[in-house]
Amino acid sequence: MDKKPLLMENRNKFIEENKGFIYSIACKICNRKLDWVNDDELSIALIAFNNACDTFSKDKGIFLSYAKVLIKNALIDYFRKSINTPYLMFKDEEEKIDYIDTKSALTEFEKQQENLNRIEEITLLSKELLKYKLSFDDLVKASPSHIDTRNTLLNVAFKCSREDHIVDYIRNKKNLPIKEMTLLTGTNRKFLEKWRRYILVLILILSSNDYSYIKSYFNIQVGEKYE
């Protein structure tokens, strides 16, 4: 597939052939079986796949890998804008997607291409972090080692990334509005202060459309606990 979008008659056939792939990605992110008739998440995933058909070019790597990134981020954005916010969690390892056969499995070339795209985004994020007098070394030092703490902070950042006034405050003041965040999330002030650098970076990433591959690298999915 090159930069020219698929003709509609070919597009419909191509999408139909890859509905299993779309379903697998969406179910993995949502951590449950979905229904094409009743679940909005599959409609979101289908739209994202169609968008991938429109925007893919060879410099973006392998198409299915690119489509997977767009589906993941579309669902994260959908959760962020939804009234009923699910509990999110980091997954340490990528789970196998049974639908993808060996011909479509992640190849070394695909991994390299994803890494290149991710490096471009990391470079962009590094420049943005300088505005906050932060570096990736600071982020590594400020990162929690315990997965439960990381998941708690992810959900704090996720809730805050949904609030435009909080995101605007951060981008304008280059700091966190701790009082507002405490009221919004019900989280202890000292806890937010302790992890403020980590939270700030998560909010910058989750609230931006510039870090698609970084968000995909986080491997976020819906957890078992809901609020």
User: pLDDT value at position 98?
Assistant: 46
C-alpha 97 chain-centroid distance: 18
What's the pLDDT score for residue 110? 67
Locate 147 and state its tokens: 């997965």
pLDDT in tens, the chain (227 residues): 444 444 455 888 899 999 999 999 999 999 999 999 999 999 999 999 999 998 888 777 788 888 999 999 999 999 988 877 788 998 765 544 444 443 444 566 666 777 788 889 999 999 999 999 998 787 778 889 899 999 999 999 999 999 999 999 999 999 999 999 999 999 999 999 999 999 999 999 999 989 988 888 888 889 765 44
Question: Dihedral of the CA atoms 73, 68, 89, 223 (nearest 10)?
Answer: 110
Other C-beta atoms lying within 10 Å of the C-beta of residue 86: 17
Please report the pLDDT score of residue 9 as a whole number: 58
Structural domains in the chain? 8-84 (1.10.1740.10), 111-222 (no CATH)
Q: How many residues does the chain have?
A: 227
Distance of CA 153 to the CA centre of its chain: 15
In 68-175, beta strands by DSSP E: 88-90
pTM of the full structure? 0.79
* Per-residue pLDDT at 99: 44
Please give the Cα distance from 224 to 31 (Å, whole number): 8
pLDDT at 208: 93
Q: What letter does residue 223 receive in the DSSP assignment?
A: -
DSSP-based three-state secondary structure for 222:
strand
